[in-house]
């Protein structure tokens, strides 16, 4: 079981979210996009915040999006993932159901990460270094 410890001020939370090595978005249990952060969303129109998340997805992705939402909301799946080459970058995207302590669906978290540098890792580095 996971136990959360400590607290962050709103400013600390803003800075932590800003500096995570991933880009994130969150839509609530009503599929309303309430937050995003990171380069993945740099071309997204800020007017999408507060609107149905389907409004900011291309038409050809809606069938898959609906399937993901249906499975996450039903509790039959907790995670959906995709990855692949995007120009010179290799990107990984994870969609995760966010649930309250009772297990009720509270939204969907999208996490995007450029992982080319991670794919290149070999061997072992036991202590942090640069």
For the chain, the average pLDDT equals 92
Task: Quick: pLDDT tens for 49-101.
Answer: 999 999 988 899 999 999 999 999 999 999 999 999 989 999 999 999 999 99
- Quickly count: other Cβ atoms within 10 Å of residue 51's Cβ: 15
Question: Per-residue pLDDT for 27 more than 80?
Answer: yes
Question: Per-residue pLDDT for 12 more than 90?
Answer: yes
d(CA 14, CA 29): 22
**For position 130, what pLDDT does the model report?**
73
Which of 67, 63, 112 is CA-nearest to residue 86? 112
**For position 22, what pLDDT does the model report?**
96
Tokens of 5: 């410890």
The DSSP symbol for 90 reads E
Ordered by where they begin, the domains of the chain are 17-117 (3.30.450.20)
pTM for this one? 0.87
Helices (H), 20-61: none
The residue that leads in pLDDT, 110 or 127, is 110
> What strands, in cross-sheet order, belong to the sheet with 105-114?
33-37, 23-28, 105-114, 89-99, 79-86
């Amino acid at each position: 079981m996971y136990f959360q410890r400590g607290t962050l001020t709103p400013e600390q939370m803003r800075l932590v979210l800003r500096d995570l090595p991933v880009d994130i978005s969150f839509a609530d249990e009503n599929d309303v996009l309430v937050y995003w952060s990171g380069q993945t969303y740099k071309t997204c129109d800020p007017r999408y915040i507060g609107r149905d998340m389907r409004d900011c997805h291309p038409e050809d992705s809606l069938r898959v999006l609906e399937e993901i939402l249906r499975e996450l909301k039903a509790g039959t799946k907790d995670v959906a993932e995709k990855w692949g080459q995007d120009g010179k970058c290799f990107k990984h995207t994870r969609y995760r159901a966010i649930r309250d302590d009772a297990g009720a669906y509270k939204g969907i978290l999208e996490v995007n990460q450029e992982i080319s540098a991670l794919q290149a890792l070999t061997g072992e580095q036991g202590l942090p270094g640069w």
